[in-house]
Structures are given as C-alpha cells and as structure tokens.
Structure 1
Amino acid sequence: MTTDKYQYLEGFNNHHTSEALPDSLPKGQNTPQKCPYNLYAEQLSGTAFTVPRSHNQRSWLYRIRPSAVHEPFERLENGNELLTCSFANANITPNQLRWDPFDLPKDGEQVDFVTGLRTVAGAGDAATRNGLAIHVYHANKNMDKRAFYNADGDFLIVPQHGPLDITTEFGKIMVQPNEICVIQRGVRYSVDLPDGPVRGYILEVFGAHFELPDLGPIGANGLANPRDFLTPKACFHEEDNGDWQIINKFLGKLFVAKQDHTPFDVVAWHGNYAPYKYDLAKFCVINSTSFDHIDPSIFTVLTCKSDTVGVAIADFVIFPPRWAVQEHTFRPPYFHRNCMSEFMGLILGDYEGKTGGFQPGGASLHNVMTPHGPDAAVYEKASSGELGPVRVADGTQAFMFETCLTLSVTDWGLKCCQKVQPDYWKSWKALKNEFTGSKA
C-alpha cells in the first residue's frame, strides 16, 4: 500500500481530486494520449451524460489496469438466494411488524459481507430503476481476495455491531457503529472485520442517488453539514495480485468473474461520484423551543428524491440525543398514520417511544397508513409527568428508512428469520378509554 490508511477529503458531493503518487493526475485534460505513470484513464458514470450539470455525477479513475480486464461473469455457485430486488411476489401486510435483533453468524459458520446479506423488504424493481430494498447483514469473515459491486443501486450502510474496514477503488474507509457510509452503484469494494463479527442495516435505492435535504426556512445551516462528510483519498495496491473474484449484484442475483490482479489499483482520481462516510454524532438537531412537535422530517440526514417535489423515494432519518423543552406538550412521538412507510432500526440504547421489545439490532415496520405510536407505558408516563428541560435519547441512536412506496416483506423477513414478534400489536392493547365527556 502506498499511503497511510483512512485519509479523507471533506465535503458532500464535491468535485475532489486525489493522488496517491505525485503528479499522477493528468494536467489539463481527462484522457491524454499517454497518462502519467502509464496509467489507464477510466470514467465511472453515476448519472446519464446528459443530465443537467448540477445533477451530473461522475469520476475519472487513473489505474494500473482497466476494470474490464477480467474473465466472463458466471452465476455465483451457491450464491446468496436471500437477496432480491424484485418484490412482485413478496408478502403484503398492513399489520405493524417488529423484529427481535437479527442474528450474528452462528458458531462454525464462515460468512463474509456478501454472503451475509439478507433482504427484509422493498418495493419497485431495479430493472426499471425505480424503488428500493431494505437489507440486513451479518458477517464474521473477511472478504479475502473478493471484491463486490452493486449494479442495481446505491447502498447506505448502517453498522450496528462492529466496525467495517472497507477498501474501495477510491481509497479506504473505516465505518464504526453510529457512523454510516454510502457506496454508490458500480463502485468496487471489499469488507474486512477488524473486531470480529458484525451486524447492521442497509438501505438500497435503485433509481437516483442520496443527497442532502433542502433546508427551506431553516436557512443555510443545520442538520447534516456538508463539510462533515468524508470521502477517501486515493490509496492503491500494486503487489496484491493473484486470484481475485469480482462479485456483481445484477438484478438481485450474484455473478462472479475471475481476474489475476487486484481491483484496487487506482493511483489517482477526480470527480464527484465517490463513496463517503458520516458520523451521526455530528448531526445538528433542530427542534421546537415553545410547544408542540416539529414533524420528524427535521431529523433527515440524507434523502433520495422522487419525481414529485417534496416526496422521497427514501429518507434516512435519525433520532439522536437532544434536549426536549416544549411547554404543555406530549413529548414522545405522537400517534400517527402516515402516507409514507416507516422502517425503523436501533443502533444502540433504548428508543424513547417504546418500553422494551425494540432492541438494538432489531427493527420495526409501519407500512403506508398503518397506525402506530407510543405504547401504553410510555403514554402514561409522558402524559402525567412533570415537564421541564430534559435530555432525550442519551446513549441511544434510533433511525428510520422512510419511503413513499408501500413495502412488501420477503419470505425470509416475515417467516424464515424467525425474528418477527407475534405480540407486537399488544403494545397498544392496554391503552384505555379515558374519555371524560358525555353526549349532550
């Protein structure tokens, strides 16, 4: 390796330049007749060439060999059949769902990041470039001599248990629990596990890319600040050759191609289509300082917009530690029916809207217009407790994948994982009729 690990460039969707060797980026043009150090120029396009310039995403990579140098792809033998990107035949249910913590790898299993992916729910179809999928992952093995890329969409990865040491074509990223990373469609990467077994969540979007939400009347500052997003600096391997496998997720199926050299041979790159990470502790919370709730959209970290203004294919929303100071206000999340579907996960701690049952590594799903809200114990405590400034969610980090689409649940998510809590509906059964009025 030619540079130190984990060096980053600041800024969200910026046009970055990065060199692992001095003067390895061409000067004045992208494709000179001969690149410095006899490198090959290769463009990675994340958007169509002809989209408006403000939306165009692409990077130029200057590498030792082009990524086209590999044997033909074949279906991966004993591939991961628990992945999908099509939900036409999945299970539909309007019921509230909640899952116990998803399993870590069992003793004796050897599971890497790719073989440990499991699709829980989704909507739409990668072939038509519209929709999303929600996955969980677990792993206890490094991806030795294996690299993965996703031809279907972008992965937003949310580690819950254990860090991920990710080597990408653009450089190296270390992602800890309470951080996230986004690895876009087409980017090759490999995942190592420096501290043993891992578990986490993934939001995949098929048709567009994540961006920062518009701030509107909030103004220029707040929520996730662009400077806090970190993109890796160029860092290449030239000695790490031998038999490599390139695994491609293509329409939800895994294919594999062999090559006799490392895919991580990018010596320099420039552009705005590159993976990035973000520390959730740096989120600047906005909230009410007088009375009532502000809608949970104020907790949006990243959004993937639909063609309808103000409506998201996917929002990534967090509920971080913060002060609650509202006067004469029921402070936990209010009872709610939503035109959006809400998939929640818990990275650590106890979520303030539930007592027990919702545990780190678990999840819940409240689909389009399915009613939900605090359970009876939370309601009783919050509606009768003394109000004053109080810290909320210290030591906790819950998040939500929210979408305008109606989510279907895979067989694995609903049945095979054996984590669905059959009595979740009873969370609201103890809410009593406390009506004090009468008919005139």
Structure 2
Amino acid sequence: MGEAPSLSFDTRTFHWTDAKSKAITRPQDPYNYLQGFGNEHQSEFIPGALPIGQNSPQICPFGLYAEQVTGTSFAASRSHSMRNFLYRRRPACVHSTYEKIPDNPTIESSFLNPSKDLHSIPSQLSWSPFKIPAKEAAVIDFTKGIHTLGGSGQPNVREGIAYHIFAINSSMKNTAFVNTDGDFLIVAQEGHLDIFTELGHIYLQPSEICVIQQGLRFKVDIVEKHSPSGARGYIIETWGTKWELPELGPLGGFGLANPRDFLFPTADIDTSSSGPWKIVSKQEGRYYAISQDQTPFDVVAWHGNYIPYKYDLTKFVYHNTVSVDHTDPSINTVLTAKSRDLHAPLCDFLVFGPRWDVAQNTFRPPYFHRNCASEFLARIYGLEVAGGRSEVFAPGGASYEAGFTPHGNADQRTIGAMHVDLKPMRVGENQLTFMLESCRSLLFTNWALKDSGVLVAEDIPASTWDTVPDRFGENEEAIKFLKAMNRASTSLVM
C-alpha cells in the first residue's frame, strides 16, 4: 500500500477528510469558533464579563450595558425562539438620527407588482462570470457591490426570497451594514473575506458559506493577501423564515451537513479604529444611515442562539443510490428555509462536490425532467462546463431554470452514457457547485438581464437538441408495430 496523497488546503478540490487536518478550520483562518448548529452558545472576550444566573444585573460586570436582540416573536415556541443578550461598552441606541442616503440602485426588494423593471422568464437563463470591479476604478465595498438577480415576494409582508451576487474591490472603512429586511446567506466564490459581526469574527473563503441574521450589524473586509483581484460571491436573502437543517428521516442520526461542523464566532471587540462610524441600514431595499462616535463592534460578552455562523461545504457527507436510478437532488440539501406551504420549501440550498457513482443497470446522469421547483446553479470552483439545460458555466457565473421547464443534458457525453460500461466512477471531481431549489419562480431585474453585461443566453438554441436522436423512430420492432396498428385502425374505419 502506498502513502495517501499529500493534499494542501490551497487546493480547493477535495473532501475535508482528505486533508487529514486536526483543526476545525483551514490554516488561513485566524479565529476561534464555537461548534454546533441550533445550540445555545455563550462567549466572553474578558473572563467574568458574562453575568451569572441572570441577564440584566443592576450593574453589569466591568460597567458594561446589557442589550437584548430578539430574532423571533417574544411568544414564539421554545424550539423556535431566537434571541441574544449582548454585553457591550455602550448601547447600540447611542447614535445620531436616521438619514436617507443614496440607495444601491442594483438592489431590488419588491417583487409583488411586476413592472417594466422586473421580468418573468419561462425557460432558462445563464451568465458567464460576473465582473469584479477593477481596483483602480471606483471604490466598491459590500454596501455598493450587491446586485440583485431576481426574487419573489417582499420583506414588508415577511414572505419571499431574493438572489443577489456581490462583487467588491474594497473593504468597509469605519462602516457597518445591517439588513433589517431578512437574513443573508453568503457564498464566497472568489477572494477571502474577514467578516466582523457584533458577536465576533467570521473568516470566509471559497467553498464556505455563512449566515448573518436579520438585524445584526457586520462589516466585510477583503483579505488582500488572498484576494489580489477583489472578491465575488452570491447572497440568498430570505424574508420571514430561517435556515434550518433538513430532516434526515431514514438516514438516521448522521449525514448530509452534520450539526457539529457549523461554526459560530467568539466574542471580540474592535480596538483598532476610532470614530466616527457610519451604520448603513437596508430597509425595504432602501438605504438609511446613522452615525456614532463608538465602534458598533464593542460587545465584550454574549449568550444566546441568534448567532451568525459558517459552514465549509467540503465537510458535506454525501448519500446516493448504491443500486439503480438517479437520486433526487434533495439528497444533497445543506440547509432549508421553510415556506407557508409545509410541503414546499421556500428554498433548499444544495451542494455537489466529488463523490462516487455506482448505480447499476441504469442511466446514471440526471434523467430528463420537469420540476415544480425553480433551479439556480452556480459553480464555486472547477472546470468550465457547457452543454444543454442544467449545465453550469464557468466559476463565478450562474444558470437558472424556471419551474416546469423541460431540462436535462443534451450533449454527446450524456447520450453516450446510455452505452458506457457501468463501473464505479468518481463524479464531480475537482469542482464544487451549489444549487438553489425554490417553490417560487423568480422575477428578474434589468441588471440581471442587461446591465450585468454577462448574460449568455435566455434559452438554449433549438439546434442543441438536434443531437438527441429519435431512437424509437429507428427501431424496427416499434415501426412494425405502429404499421400494424395503422392497418387495424384503417380496417375499422372501412
């Protein structure tokens, strides 16, 4: 037996276990984390800063102020209640009055009343890599670099979803951001990000995702050493629902995304900068700002369960068929966001990476299909692929199929799969792709369809499907049967 190959965390094309790491994070990540999805956590930057046995003492340790943040209704069931107590140097209410500031014109939040600025797409869309602004161009930080592709619903009615991309060339200087509309699920695709939240730091790099909940303040900085061209990624914004782990059902107690692999920040305080600070608030997609002399990142201790978190997609535990037939993509769900329809999630976040395919006596690629769900796919890293519907283009781009759009793969490799020797084979090698499945069909923005400048096609050319042969029409036995049926029908008419 030879030695196992030596893999580097700089090579982003592996399952986490291949690296034989004894740490829970990659070497570039300088921070400590708490572990466990759905847990109550607590953290203190200075020992003794957390009150014992109560939440709001008359005088908090070290002269701190107690501040509660609630992410759900006060009367929510215990299993769904989300809230924190923060112990900070000065209360968050110490700030100037709100002022209207220029909006980000490429953010959209209302999809209830279709207009000339929103467009329904009955079939497919695909984009080549979204452009990262050049560093010598205008300064584009996270507040300016968000661009909405499409969505459904509206935050004001607490129901719906929006898909965005972000492309930035600058860190946020003495500026924080707070999304009062909904939760952000951020997918890093290019560049490394240092995200400072009120509850501590999250270091995010390609193949990792993080969730920052509604109402929590944060800032996004580019780690220049690992981001020579800037940073790019995707944002899934949900309104009125929270991301959850999917039920495992017959899989049992483990598999897919395991709760212990979700990482939560530890308390940290900003001592590197002085005021003034600007806090940009997104409300109904509009931007407002307040200013304050103190940093918003002055939380010395906290406890609760309303906490930003991150997850490395290479830790996902895949399951698939070991007998016959392709398995529905839902088997690859990392997180799910429920809708009011108990049988149709608002959004499932799925991942596809390196795994084995061993199905026998079957057509191994996804069969041609029409799903009620809409599908959005994007490649985080890996080889460029082009072909029929359901294919993903180069990393940093995306593709979309509306609900009930007939799709599948029409290239010769797929047709050839009907005749290959069905030996165990690795699929998804050297790539990582995520998919969003939603019960909603999206309305798309002008930016997505025109101003982004990277829309490849609104549909696959009809000529692509000419490569799919009519084998039935060439089958002698079938044609003989049809002729016999035609003769029988003719005699009955006579």
Same structural fold, with TM-score higher than 0.5 when normalized by the shorter chain: yes
The whole-number CA distance in structure 2 between the counterparts of 1:19 and 1:402 is 38
CA 1:418/1:188 → structure 2, altered by over 3 Å: closer, same or farther? same
User: C-alpha offsets along residues 123-155 of structure 1, whole Å, 9 cap, x if unaligned?
Assistant: 000000000000000001010101001001111
Aligned mates of 1:186, 1:22 — CA distance in 2: 27
Aligned 8 A contact 2:212 2:307 in 1: yes
1:37 counterpart letter in structure 2: F
Query: Is the 8 Å Cα contact of residues 319 and 398 (structure 1) preserved in structure 2?
Result: yes
Aligned partner of 1:259 in structure 2 is 292
Following superposition, the deviation at residue 357 of structure 1 comes to 6.6
1:131 aligns with 2:163: no
Distance 1:315 1:342 in 2: 10
Q: Which whole-Å CA distance do the structure 2 matches of 1:255 and 1:353 have between them?
A: 42
Aligned position for 2:323: 290
Q: Are 1:392 and 2:427 counterparts?
A: yes
Other-structure match for 2:151: 122
Counterpart in the other structure of 2:207: 178
2:20 match: none
8 Å CA contact retained: 1:153, 1:204 = yes
Q: Is 1:84 the counterpart of 2:108 in the alignment?
A: yes
Contact 1:333 1:353 (8 Å CA) reproduced: no
Q: Distance in 1 between matches of 2:415 and 2:437?
A: 28
Contact 1:245–1:259 under 8 Å retained in 2: yes
Pairs aligned (count): 436
- Per the TM alignment, residue 431 of structure 1 is displaced from its structure 2 partner at its CA by 1.9
CA contact (8 A) 1:337 1:370 kept: yes
Q: In structure 2, do the counterparts of structure 1 residues 5 and 244 end up closer, same or farther at CA, with 3 Å as the change threshold?
A: farther
How far residue 73 of structure 1 moved from its aligned partner, in angstroms, is 1.6
Equivalent of 1:100, from 128, 133, 136?
128
CA distance in 2, matches of 1:42, 1:113: 27
2:49 is the alignment partner of 1:16 = no
Q: Which amino acid counterpart does residue 262 of structure 1 have in structure 2? A: T
- TM-score of the superposed pair, with normalisation by structure 1: 0.96
Residues 351, 282 of structure 1: alpha-carbon distance in 2 compared, 3 angstrom cutoff? farther
Find the aligned partners of 2:383 and 2:35 in 1 and give their Cα distance. 32
User: What is the alpha-carbon distance in structure 2 between the residues aligned to residue 404 and residue 266 of structure 1?
Assistant: 39
Question: How far apart are the structure 2 equivalents of 1:327 and 1:236?
Answer: 56
Partner of 1:407: 442
Distance 1:236 1:144 in 2: 16
State which of 424, 431, 438 in structure 1 corresponds to 2:468: 431
**Cα offsets for 1:44-77 (capped at 9, x unmatched):** 1111111110011111111011111111122223
1:291-440 alignment to 2 at 5 Å?
A: 291-350=324-383, 354=387, 358-422=393-457, 424-426=459-461, 427-435=464-472, 436=475, 437-438=478-479, 439=482, 440=485
Residue 192 of structure 2 aligns with which residue? Answer: 163
What stretches of structure 2 of length at least 5 have no aligned partner?
A: 1-28, 486-494
Any idea what SS the aligned residue of 1:406 has? coil
Q: Does 1:140 align with 2:169?
A: yes
* In 2: Cα distance, 1:5 partner to 1:25 partner: 24
Alpha-carbon separation, structure 2, partners of 1:429 and 1:117: 39
Question: Structure 1's 239 and 360: CA in aligned 2 closer, same or farther, altered over 3 A?
Answer: closer
Rounded Cα–Cα distance in structure 2 between residues aligned with 1:37 and 1:368: 56
Larger C-alpha radius of gyration, 1 or 2?
2
Q: Partners of 1:272 and 1:420 in 2: how far apart?
A: 40
How far apart are residue 5 of structure 1 and its match?
4.8
Q: CA deviation at 1:374?
A: 1.0
> Aligned equivalents of 1:255 and 1:423: distance in 2?
35
Q: 1:49 to 1:428 in 2, by over 3 A?
A: farther
Deviation at 1:383, TM superposition (A): 1.7
The answer to whether the Cα contact below 8 Å between 2:123 and 2:458 also exists between their aligned partners in 1 is no
Measured in 2, the distance between the counterparts of 1:68 and 1:368 equals 45
Please report how far the alpha carbon of residue 309 of structure 1 lies from its aligned counterpart in structure 2 after TM superposition.
Answer: 2.2
Q: What SS is found at the alignment partner of 2:331?
A: helix
Unaligned stretches of 5+ in structure 1? none
Q: 1:199 offset after TM fit, Å?
A: 0.6
1:135–1:201: 8 Å Cα contact kept in structure 2?
A: yes
**Distance between the aligned counterparts of 1:171 and 1:428, measured in 2?**
52
In structure 2, C-alpha distance between the alignment counterparts of 1:299 and 1:198, rounded to whole Å = 26
Secondary structure of 2:244 counterpart:
coil
Stretches (4+) displaced over 3 A: 350-357
SS at match of 2:85: strand
Distance 1:80 1:381 in 2: 48
Measured against aligned partners, the alpha-carbon deviations of 1:297-321 in whole angstroms (never above 9, x if no partner) come to: 0000000111222320111001111
Superposed CA deviations along residues 263-309 of structure 1, whole A, max 9, x for unmatched, are 00000000000000001011000100011011110000000111222
SS of structure 2 residue aligned to 1:53: coil
Question: What is the letter of the counterpart of residue 465 of structure 2?
Answer: W
Q: CA deviation at 1:192?
A: 0.8
CA contact (8 A) 2:326 2:365 kept: no
Distance 1:233 1:354 in 2: 45
Measure the CA separation in 1 of the matches of 2:287 and 2:379: 29
Q: Separation in 2 of the partners of 1:334 and 1:91?
A: 29
Contact 2:46–2:300 (8 Å) recurs in 1: yes
Q: CA deviation at 1:423?
A: 7.0
